[in-house]
Amino acid sequence: MSKQSTFVQDVDEQANRGSASLSAQMYASCSNCKERLQGEFCHNCGQKHIDHHDYSLKAFASHGLHEILHFDSKVFRTLVPLMFKPGYLTEEYFSGKRMRYLKPLQLFILINVLFFLVKTGGLFHYSLTAYLNEFGNLIQARINSSGLSETVYEAKFNTSMHFQQKSYIILLVPVFALAMKLLYLRAKRYYVEHLVFSLNFFAFFLVFLAVFPIPLIALKLLGVKVAVGERPLVAVIFIVCSIYLSIALKRVYKQKVPATLLKAFILAACVIPLILFYRIVLFFVVLHTT
């Protein structure tokens, strides 16, 4: 047999193997959703077709590194506009550009968890003693019915409070979205659109609360005594929320400046009452579960 014939035969065999492999891939089913495959990735759920190469150590390490770096880059791409371009993420979400960023609920949950991990005091830091002036009689009645000493019950209450406070903070979001729905009735927007806006706003708000004490801590380390009382804190929250909401509402809802400013001030004024609402709901939940 001539070299030319051998070469042609080898090419034919490789082509047949490639064709068979492609054919097998085309008629195989997706391991995840059982949809018939029409290529390397499932057109229904997006999962890659798995073969024996994916079980190599190199592939495992490569995929793991890709997931870590991809998630990190997505977090960075999301956090920067969240903090410095109010309303941008919501606008991108409504325009269908969603793959580059964390989803609104995903972003809120991530920041919520991180916030309560790093938080050591301040707003959203509640303990049994913080409720004594308002609900002292209820607390004493609960202690008596529990059969525990005051010290033991206080420790139990505070432990439960620590674990439940991050779960119930999401209650702020749908109530805030309802307020937005009432303010934008004429805009004929879906409630879910306001919900997306609210998720992004409260994600920003939690990040702000987490970083706000940093300059105060730095000044304290330098020997400068700075005491921020309740009223100055409320004023700072109102000013920051008003500025952020003014820019975000203008970007997303595109109304005239006077109407946007008025609605931003109203919504900013709702933040503190919502926090008080959350605080009371959380108290009764913890009281009746401890």
pLDDT in tens, 13-38: 554 454 444 444 444 777 677 777 77
Q: Which of 76, 286, 103 is nearest to 192 (CA)?
A: 103
Same-domain pairing of 37 and 92:
no
pLDDT in tens, 247-256: 999 999 999 9
Token pair, residue 80, equals 């920067």
Mean pLDDT for 93-101 is 89
Question: Is residue 81, in this structure, part of any structural domain at all?
Answer: yes
Query: Do 86 and 10 lie in a common domain?
Result: no
Domain-embedded: residue 240: yes
Q: List, for residues 127-159, the tens digit of each pLDDT value.
A: 888 898 889 999 999 999 988 889 999 999 998
CA distances to 21, 60, 83, 152 from 55, in Å: 18, 6, 40, 52
The whole-number pLDDT of residue 179 equals 96
In a domain, 243, yes or no: yes
Domain assignment present for residue 165? The answer is yes
Using an 8 Å Cβ cutoff, are 207 and 89 in contact?
no
Judge contact between 264 and 249, C-beta under 8 A: yes
What is the separation of C-alpha 135 from the centre of its chain, rounded to a whole number of angstroms?
Answer: 32
- Asked if residue 78 belongs to a domain, the reply is yes
What's the total number of domains in the chain?
2
Q: Do 104 and 34 fall into the same domain?
A: no
Judgement on whether residues 21 and 78 belong to the same structural domain of the protein: no
Q: What is the mean pLDDT of the chain?
A: 81
| 65 found inside a domain | no
Specify whether the CB–CB gap between 268 and 112 falls below 8 A.
no
Which range marks the domain in which residue 273 is found? Answer: 72-287
Give domain status of residue 208, yes or no: yes
Residue 227 lies in a domain: yes
